[in-house]
Amino acid sequence: MPDFITPYLIATLVKTAVLAGALMTTLAYLQWIERKVIAHVQVRMGPSRVGPHGLMQPLADVIKLITKEGVIPADVNVFFYVLAPFLAVFMSLISISVIPFGPPVTVFGYTTNLSLADPNVGILFVLAISSMGVYGVALAGWSSNNKYSLLGGLRSSAQMISYELPMSLAIAAPLLMAGSLSLREIVNSQGGYSFGVLPKWAIFSGPFPQFFSFIIFMISAFAETNRVPFDLPEAENELVAGFHTEYSSMKFASFFMSEYSNMVTICCITTVLFLGGWHPLWPAALGSNFVAPALFALAGALCFLHGLNPARPLDRFTLPVFGLVFFGLAGVFLVPIVVTMFMPVFWFVAKTGFLLFVFIWIRATLPRFRYDQLMSFAWKFLFPVALLNLLLTALMVSLVQ
């Protein structure tokens, strides 16, 4: 074996492949989940024709977008027109490399972190990369030589820059309590339980629980990711489609890929900063390790129940198959070595998944704000509240220490 092939290199390549595959699959099926959830909220079916329960719809969408003609309109600035979607996707994907998904694990005698990189200033890296994401949308609007696209790009620039201020202040508060800029150290500082049952997550722990920071961060996250009710840059009833009006084929899809990737990254950061990362909601001694097998077993039972009373003829065959898969996962999560290695990852994914559901839930519930309401809310309410919360947190931390 060549000298440059070290255990570290092998572990890094394996983690990169696993993370890339998991992230790409998540981005593809997050759209399917969103369409299904919104359909159920609105008492509709959602995707149901391509594959069982519409599970192959993401693949059909990808094939459709790849095979579409990529039209470049006349009079656009071609270099920046092509660069914009690349920047949007690149900046949205790179932040995930520093997210710690669990504690260090030992495989074949080699111990490695469950993250691609572990810088001691991880949160600053995420903030720096996220602040660059605005360039993709702004350049798309400017380079398209279209007034609707330009207005969408301008809206996005003002919106994302404005909401970065309260978001940064909301992040600073839990950092004061953790005393570190390392994402892994922030999670480690939230380990343990008060009174034996109450987790020491940032939103629960003293000296000043960060519930308000959590709310401020989540509101700013909606604005940073251009999600409803803050999707003013692509308001179709005002701007046709906003900054991506002139885009087609995979360039058009790139902006949606970056949006969903930003959603995943924001939810991961929220889990790390406020929800204890991979630490469970209650101690393992009280049965937290049985949550995963119980949930999978419940999902399997529901699949068999609906298979006995199918809404469509095909459900009689597909739902029992999914039920067997869920029962198999429930059995796997009862194996001690699997519990040791993957239960922390399960808790991290469960918290992140719940936050992603909140994003979808809000989209299905709230209407879009007016642009003046959006900016007024950021500068006249959210920014002062975030600043006051930071000052109170600093005061309480200094008094306790």
Give the confidence band of 122 by pLDDT, cuts at 50, 70, 90: confident
pLDDT, one tens digit per residue, over 48-87 is: 888 888 899 999 988 988 888 888 888 888 899 989 999 9
Distance CA 39, CA 384 (A): 37
Task: Indicate whether 1 pLDDT > 60.
Answer: no
Question: Average pLDDT over the chain, rounded to whole?
Answer: 89
Residue 279 confidence (pLDDT):
94
pLDDT (mean) for 130-156? 86
Residue 71 confidence (pLDDT):
84
Distance CA 380, CA 387 (A): 12
pLDDT, one tens digit per residue, over 320-345 is: 999 999 999 999 999 998 898 899 99
Residue 4 confidence (pLDDT):
58
Coil vs helix vs strand at 198: strand
pLDDT, one tens digit per residue, over 199-236 is: 999 999 878 899 999 999 999 999 888 888 888 777 77
Task: Indicate whether 354 pLDDT > 90.
Answer: yes
pLDDT, one tens digit per residue, over 361-379 is: 999 888 888 888 888 999 9
Do the beta carbons of residue 238 and residue 69 sit within 8 Å?
no
Residue 357 confidence (pLDDT):
95
pLDDT, one tens digit per residue, over 9-22 is: 888 888 999 999 99
Query: Minimum mean pLDDT among 13-22, 122-131, 238-247: which range?
Result: 238-247
pLDDT (mean) for 93-105? 91
Residue type, 340: T
- Residue 255 neighbours by CB under 8 Å, 6+ apart: 85, 88, 136, 137, 140, 243, 244, 247
Residue 153 confidence (pLDDT):
84
Residue 346 confidence (pLDDT):
94
Residue 3 confidence (pLDDT):
62
CA distances 216 to 120, 221, 382, Å, are 25, 8, 7
Show the CA angle centred on residue 331, arms to residues 325 and 336, nearest 5°.
Answer: 140
- Please tell me what DSSP assigns to residue 105: E
pLDDT (mean) for 106-130? 87
CA atoms within 13 A on the CB side of 39: 13
Distance CA 129, CA 121 (A): 13
Among 202, 44, 224, which Cα is nearest to 129's?
224
Cite the DSSP H helix spans in 179-199.
183-188
What is the b/e burial string over 10-23, where b = at least 16 CB atoms within 10 angstroms of the residue's CB?
A: ebeeebeeebeeeb
Residue 390 confidence (pLDDT):
94
Residue 277 confidence (pLDDT):
93
Distance CA 269, CA 63 (A): 32
Task: Indicate whether 30 pLDDT > 90.
Answer: yes
Is pTM beyond 0.85? Reply is yes
Residue 307 burial (CB < 10 Å; 0-12/13-18/19+)?
Answer: middle
CA atoms within 13 A on the CB side of 349: 11
CA atoms within 13 A on the CB side of 378: 23
Residue 271 confidence (pLDDT):
96
Task: Indicate whether 158 pLDDT > 80.
Answer: yes
Give the confidence band of 2 by pLDDT, cuts at 50, 70, 90: low
Residue 73 confidence (pLDDT):
85
